[in-house]
Structure 1
Amino acid sequence: MTTAQVHIPEQPAPRAQRSATSDTVWCYLFMLPTIVLAAVFTFYPAIASWVISFQEWNGFGDERTFVGFANFREVMVDRYFWAAFGRTALFVLMTVPASLVLAFLFAAALNDASYRLRPLFRAVFFLPVVTTTAIVGIVFTMLMNPFDGPLNRFLLSIGLIDQPIDFLGSPSLALASVSAVFIWKWTGISMIYWLVALQTVPKELYEAAEVDGAGIWRRHRHLTVPMILPFGVIITLIAVVGSFQTFPLVQAMTQGGPSFSTELVELYIYRLAFASEGEPRLGYASAAAVIFGLAILIFTALQAWAVRKIQLARKGQ
């Protein structure tokens, strides 16, 4: 008759436990500055904007009046808010498709392993992304100056125009000019995302398609596009959400002018809260910000739903 042997798992050594605990403590200590900054400059303002949106407050005194949904009702019938909202939607339509297409073309070209200058051009295309937005706005304002700007001098020298163009002073051109600068600034980040997506496609599939006689366009159409489509939806979502964050660039270049032609929703909210000629209305501006944030949230949810549908469709195949 044998005695059953019971296996008792070995307990980790006390020194190993102390080392793991110490590593965890150090991780939280290194995360603490980021958590504090996010709490102070992101989470608290977001929560405070919801609270203030139900109040009438000029942002200075202690006197606050609870008005319920009055601010929201006023925003919903404010034609200036909807005009700014429409310009924001137009700005998204002008920037996102062009930026995504350019970024994909750059990524497809730089994804070729035989191209030796890939690291150099990746850095060149990504350099605008890491450049301070305010500096970019100021530099392009000088470049587009109608009096002595280099852009106008160049166009005049080659005979493309007969007189200087006021890119930022014309209501019909200002939004398009800011959109072009925005595309130049942020195309590099979408290019990096596309590069990551393209590198998930196995090289063997391209080689097999090339052996079968498929040209470059057929390979991209029947291999690349179907395989990176879920990535494309996510990249589009990131680009759209990023295109709503226009305040630094527009403020540096036009400050919402001329004639409110570049006043997007963020500039509209800023003007009501801080830069209005009359008494600031922080509660009303907060209500406008909440409505705008909810619109972005709904759009984001729809994009996430689309990603889920595409993934389920691919699994069903």
Structure 2
Amino acid sequence: MLPQTIMYLVFTLWPILASYYFSFFNWDGIGWPSRFNGIANYLEVVKDPYFWNAFKNSFIYTFFVVIIVVPCSLVLALILNSKMLRMKVLFRTLFFVPVVLTMAIIGIVMNVMFANEGFINKLLLSMGMIDSAVPWLTDSTLAMMTLILVGVWKGFGIKVIYWLAGLQTLPADLFEAAKIDGANKWQEFRYITVPLLIPFLVIITFFQTVWSLNVFDLVKTFTNGGPMFATDVVPLYIYRYAFEGGTLPRMGFASAAGIFYGFATMFLSIMLGLLVKKFGVRKSHA
């Protein structure tokens, strides 16, 4: 356990604690911070409209990815779990392929595919579905929609696997008893499958929300926050000030922004965590 403990202390615990300390300094990341400025960084974060724009975009992205991925992945899992479906392993593999690809690679590839002269526009033009190239990445509304679409595609496969794991834990005797009582497929789904899958629903929603709120590499390589900050998210905002701050980075300000956003996401995570605690453990009934 010693190597793992050392890695945790150096690369996880220390950066977290150091961020709190650095956030009270006007520091460019060179040497040890010495220019103490109190809560000035926090006040600047609160007053910065670009931060609130990134804050809004982070929650817009998270909201739509979660409400699309969670229910749709359940529907697909139900189809893949059907006894009548053939070649289940092939379909499961196809949907799981995006999971093994890194976000950065996906962002780079999708940036090329959704460019004005990219594969997507060429395909749609050849099929006669559009008359001119669609500005997927240069229109503010379309850029966010495209980013959400790619985020859904990336996170879809792993959620299907989670749902399949949940479906395979459901007791078969309950469905057999329901069939004997004359229940149809919809009644089985509504009164047996859904109630028993509530713990999985809460946990899957929790994980998807946390992952979506912390999206960075996909946005960085896909849209880089553009056009005109329409797809800017808080992790990218923090990165920009920490490592791309013009002549000198503003590590203290970036730390303050990260902590502010961290408290906001922590509050949401606690709320979701309470749901996990309440519904995450399936209670047995006598």
TM-score band (shorter)?
Answer: over 0.9
Which residues of 2 match residues 61-80 of structure 1 at below 5 A? Answer: 61-80=31-50
Distance 1:311 1:274 in 2: 40
Task: Please list the CA deviations of residues 260-314 of structure 1 after superposition, one character each: whole Å capped at 9, or x if unmatched.
Answer: 1111001111111111235321111101101111111111111121233446996
**Match of residue 195 from structure 1:** 164
Is it true that 1:39 corresponds to 2:13 in the alignment? no
Q: Name whichever of 66-75 and 154-163 sits farther off.
A: 66-75
The amino acid across from 1:86 in the alignment is K
1:298 maps to 2:267: yes
Instruction: Tell me whether 58-67 or 152-161 shows the greater mean CA deviation.
Output: 58-67
Structure 2 CA distance for partners of 1:40 and 1:301, relative to 1, 3 Å: same
Q: Name the SS of the counterpart of 1:56 in structure 2.
A: coil
Q: Which letter maps to 1:180?
A: L
Higher relative contact order, structure no. (Cα contacts within 8 Å, ≥ 6 residues apart)? 2
Aligned to 2:63: 93
Task: Report whether the alignment pairs 1:129 with 2:95.
Answer: no
Partners of 2:96 and 2:281 in 1: CA distance: 34
Structure 1 unmatched ranges of 5 or more:
1-27
**8 A Cα contact 2:22 2:33, kept in partner:** no
Report the Cα offset of residue 33 of structure 1: 4.0
Q: Provide closer, same or farther for how the CA distance between residues 275 and 43 of structure 1 changes in structure 2, counting only shifts above 3 A.
A: same
1:275 aligns with one of 232, 241, 244: 244
Kindly tell me: are residues 115 and 34 of structure 1, through their superposed partners in 2, closer, same or farther at Cα, counting changes over 3 Å?
A: farther
CA RMSD of aligned residues (A): 2.1
| Corresponding residue number in structure 2 for 1:216 | 185
Letter in 2 for 1:92: T
Q: Deviations over 1:16-72 (max 9, x none)?
A: xxxxxxxxxxxx3xxx44433333322221221111112110112445212222222
**1:170 aligns with one of 139, 143, 158:** 139
Following superposition of structure 1 onto structure 2, how do residues 236-275 of structure 1 map, counting pairs within 5 Å? 236-275=205-244
Residues 77 and 203 (structure 1), Cα distance of their counterparts in 2 relative to 1, 3 Å cut: same
DSSP-derived class of the 1:173 partner:
helix
Is 2:116 the partner of 1:146? yes
CA displacement at 1:95 relative to structure 2:
0.8
* Counterpart amino acid of residue 109 in structure 1: I
Match of 1:11 in 2: none
Q: Quick one: distance in 1 between partners of 2:185 and 2:246?
A: 58
Once the 2 structures are TM-superposed, how far is the Cα of residue 89 of structure 1 from its aligned partner?
0.8
Q: Secondary structure at the match of 1:207?
A: helix
- Greater alpha carbon shift after TM alignment, 292-301 vs 107-116: 107-116
- Name the counterpart of 1:158: 127
- Report the counterpart of residue 12 of structure 1 in structure 2: none
User: Match of 2:85?
Assistant: 115
- Give 3-state SS (helix, strand or coil) of 1:65's partner: coil
What stretches of structure 2 of length at least 5 have no aligned partner? none
Aligned to 2:277: 308
Give the Cα separation in 1 of the matches to 2:121 and 2:182: 48
Q: Which residue of 2 aligns with 1:235?
A: 204
Which shifted more, 58-67 or 185-194?
Answer: 58-67
Q: Is the CA contact (8 Å cut-off) linking 2:225 and 2:236 kept in structure 1? A: yes
Contact 2:202–2:280 (8 Å) recurs in 1: no
Shift of 1:214: 2.1
Give the TM-score normalised by the residue count of structure 2: 0.92
Output the CA distance in 2 between the equivalents of 1:86 and 1:63. 31
2-side partners of 1:285 and 1:316: how far apart?
51
Identity %: 41
Q: Secondary structure at the match of 1:55?
A: coil
CA distance in 1, matches of 2:39, 2:9: 27
2:29 aligns with 59
- Amino acid in structure 2 at the alignment position of 1:271: R
Q: Given residue 162 of structure 1, which amino acid in structure 2 is its aligned partner?
A: D
Looking at structure 2, the residues matched to 57 and 185 of structure 1 have their Cα atoms a distance apart, in angstroms, of 37
